[in-house]
């Protein structure tokens, strides 16, 4: 292991140069005009695996290719399944970038460019960790399988099919993903919880056309007012969601977990200032951190109805609509929660209204056992690099693929990410600190050695 770490130190500049080459490829999966580039990114990464002696394959399915690579060092060693994605978000709006998104540059130790953090830079750490072993001892400490997806930023629509069709190929002991953030700058952390999502759209229809509010107002229930009433009733005074059975499957936070949350270096006031609000508003009895990561929530993502242009138009609208999403925690399922909010709307619908209900999107949350050998190994690896034990943290966002790995392959995922919330992923001036890039490689080198047992 020490030889591998030394190799990394000697090759920092060369690794960076190669990463720049990878980042220059505009692999924008959401835009068909870039398909050729996205395919080039897949070829680039496959070539690196070929060079390193991996057995590789390119899987096309219905969409952009998935790159597969494996090195099986022996049956008795554990097998890692490493997932990453080589596609990136569109760079718009271009005029807000300080330097062109696909001409990555280093400024003050930070690398700027689309994909530096999400996820080309983090994916690349794994390739370089493997290279460090292969160049210094000729093999890897354990078996490794890579899958690098090209459609993560456009919904991973084909990945579940790929996994389901290749369960034997993907057989492993644990999944590792480096596509999350550290808890804070210089604060090592491993994500063990993700929230799921249920996202619906509702439309209430009252009169069959827009009416004059003078002539009809006073005897017609207004769809905007009626929708507002149902939405208002979705939370109680304690800011708990009132949908029947909403909390039935929620795994409660244990005392240990809450103690851990409380020990994290997190300042509510700083957070409030950063968000630009006067006060936070959480479910009663929970902190900001618990509320945003470990408790289920309900938010309107959009609402519309009637006249929304300038000035005063005296319309009594025929319809009002809203998009409503719920962040879920284990063991809530999007299917169950979607049915429950549908029932809630049906139950509270006034007799004057018709309801149109659309299930738009769903994804499972995940909770990983922090005491598994892989999580312990990851924690020890991080401690070796950062000089302090990492925090186990939960994040409020969703990575639905984690639940797919569990469902389709029975595998837990170690979320070992080195981003920061300030890395502007999905935004202009995306960046990744080179210190974190190297700490990431060091951590992976250590993790492979520790986890092999």
Supply the residues annotated as catalytic: 87, 152
Work out whether 231 is an interface residue with its own copies (CB under 8 A).
yes
Is 79:60 a contact under the CB 8 Å cutoff?
no
Residue 328's SS3 state is strand
- Quick one: which segment of 86-94, 185-193, 315-323, 439-447 binds its own copies (CB under 8 A)? 315-323
Work out whether 299 is an interface residue with its own copies (CB under 8 A).
yes
Work out whether 277 is an interface residue with its own copies (CB under 8 A).
yes
Residue whose CB is less far from its own copies, 348 or 452: 348
17 phi/psi in degrees, rounded to 5 = -60, -45
Helix (H) or strand (E) holding 438: helix 434-451
Closest residue by Cα to residue 415 from 435, 397, 434: 397
Q: Is 95 exposed, middle or buried (0-12, 13-18, 19+ CB in 10 A)?
A: exposed
Work out whether 88 is an interface residue with its own copies (CB under 8 A).
no
- Considering only residues 239 through 258, tell me which ones interact with its own copies, judged by CB under 8 A: none
Work out whether 233 is an interface residue with its own copies (CB under 8 A).
yes
Work out whether 234 is an interface residue with its own copies (CB under 8 A).
yes
The string of DSSP letters for 367-389 reads E--TTSHHHHHHHHHHHHHHSSP
The Cα 23–Cα 394 span in angstroms is 29
Residue whose CB is less far from its own copies, 105 or 277: 277
Residue whose CB is less far from its own copies, 292 or 413: 292
Per-position b or e across 123-156, b if 16+ CB within 10 A of its CB: bbbbbbbbbbbbebeeebbbbbbbbbbbbbbbeb
Residue whose CB is less far from its own copies, 48 or 195: 195
Residue 429 has which token pair? 């001036």
- Quick one: which segment of 85-93, 280-288, 333-341, 440-448 binds its own copies (CB under 8 A)? 280-288
Among 26, 317, 390, 419, binds its own copies (CB under 8 A): 317
- Considering only residues 386 through 445, tell me which ones interact with its own copies, judged by CB under 8 A: 395-398, 421
The Cα 327–Cα 334 span in angstroms is 9
- Considering only residues 101 through 160, tell me which ones interact with its own copies, judged by CB under 8 A: none
Residue whose CB is less far from its own copies, 141 or 365: 365
The Cα 366–Cα 196 span in angstroms is 7
* 321 strand-pairing partners: 203, 304
- Considering only residues 190 through 229, tell me which ones interact with its own copies, judged by CB under 8 A: 195, 197, 199, 206-209, 211-222, 224-225, 227-229
Work out whether 327 is an interface residue with its own copies (CB under 8 A).
yes
Work out whether 313 is an interface residue with its own copies (CB under 8 A).
yes
How many residues make contact with its own copies (CB under 8 A)?
82
Among 39, 280, 355, 409, binds its own copies (CB under 8 A): 280
Closest residue by Cα to residue 133 from 325, 229, 1, 233: 1
- Quick one: which segment of 44-52, 245-253, 272-280, 412-420 binds its own copies (CB under 8 A)? 272-280
- Considering only residues 18 through 47, tell me which ones interact with its own copies, judged by CB under 8 A: none
CB of 359 to its own copies, least distance (A): 10
CA atoms within 13 A on the CB side of 147: 24
* 69 strand-pairing partners: 56, 146
Among 300, 346, 356, 453, binds its own copies (CB under 8 A): 300
- Considering only residues 350 through 369, tell me which ones interact with its own copies, judged by CB under 8 A: 350-352, 360-361
CB of 433 to its own copies, least distance (A): 20
CB of 383 to its own copies, least distance (A): 26
Closest residue by Cα to residue 119 from 158, 92, 152: 152
The Cα 93–Cα 122 span in angstroms is 24
């Amino acid at each position: 292991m020490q030889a591998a770490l030394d190799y990394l130190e000697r090759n920092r500049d060369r690794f960076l140069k190669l990463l720049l080459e990878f980042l220059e490829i505009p692999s924008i999966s959401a835009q068909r005009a870039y398909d050729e580039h996205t395919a080039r990114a897949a070829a680039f990464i496959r070539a690196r695996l070929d060079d390193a002696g991996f057995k590789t394959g390119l899987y096309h399915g219905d969409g952009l290719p998935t790159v597969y690579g494996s090195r099986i060092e022996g049956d008795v060693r554990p097998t890692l399944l490493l997932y990453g994605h080589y596609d990136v978000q569109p760079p718009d709006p271009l005029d807000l970038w300080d330097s062109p998104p696909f001409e990555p540059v280093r400024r003050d130790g930070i690398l700027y460019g689309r994909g530096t953090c999400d996820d080309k830079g983090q994916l690349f750490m794994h390739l370089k960790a493997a290279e460090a072993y292969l160049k210094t001892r000729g093999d890897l400490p354990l078996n490794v399988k890579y899958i690098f997806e090209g459609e993560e930023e456009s919904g991973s629509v084909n990945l579940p099919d790929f996994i389901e069709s290749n369960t034997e190929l993907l057989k492993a002991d644990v999944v590792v993903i480096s596509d999350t953030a550290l808890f804070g700058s210089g604060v090592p952390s491993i994500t063990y919880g993700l929230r799921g999502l249920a996202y619906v759209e509702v439309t209430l229809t009252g009169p069959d056309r827009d009416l004059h509010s003078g002539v009809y107002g006073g005897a017609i229930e207004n769809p905007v007012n009626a929708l507002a009433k149902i939405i208002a009733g979705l939370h109680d005074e304690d800011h708990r969601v009132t949908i029947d059975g909403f909390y039935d499957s929620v795994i409660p936070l244990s005392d240990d977990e809450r103690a851990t949350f409380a020990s994290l270096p997190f300042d509510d006031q700083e957070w409030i200032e950063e968000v630009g609000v006067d006060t936070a508003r959480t479910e009663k009895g929970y902190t900001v951190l618990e509320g945003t990561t470990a408790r289920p929530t309900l938010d309107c993502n959009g609402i519309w109805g009637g006249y929304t242009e300038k000035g005063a138009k005296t319309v009594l609208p025929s319809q009002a609509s809203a998009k409503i999403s719920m962040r879920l925690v284990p063991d809530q399922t999007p299917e169950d929660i979607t049915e429950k909010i549908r029932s809630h709307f049906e139950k509270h619908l006034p007799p004057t209204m018709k309801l149109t209900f659309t299930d738009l999107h769903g994804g499972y949350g995940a909770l990983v056992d922090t005491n598994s050998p892989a999580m312990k190994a990851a924690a020890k690896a991080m401690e070796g690099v950062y000089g302090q034990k990492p925090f186990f943290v939960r994040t409020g966002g969703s990575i639905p693929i984690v639940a797919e790995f569990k469902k389709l392959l029975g595998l837990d995922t170690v979320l070992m990410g080195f981003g920061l919330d300030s890395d502007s992923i999905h935004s202009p001036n995306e960046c990744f600190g080179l210190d974190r890039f190297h700490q990431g490689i060091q951590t992976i080198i250590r993790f492979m050695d520790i986890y092999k047992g």
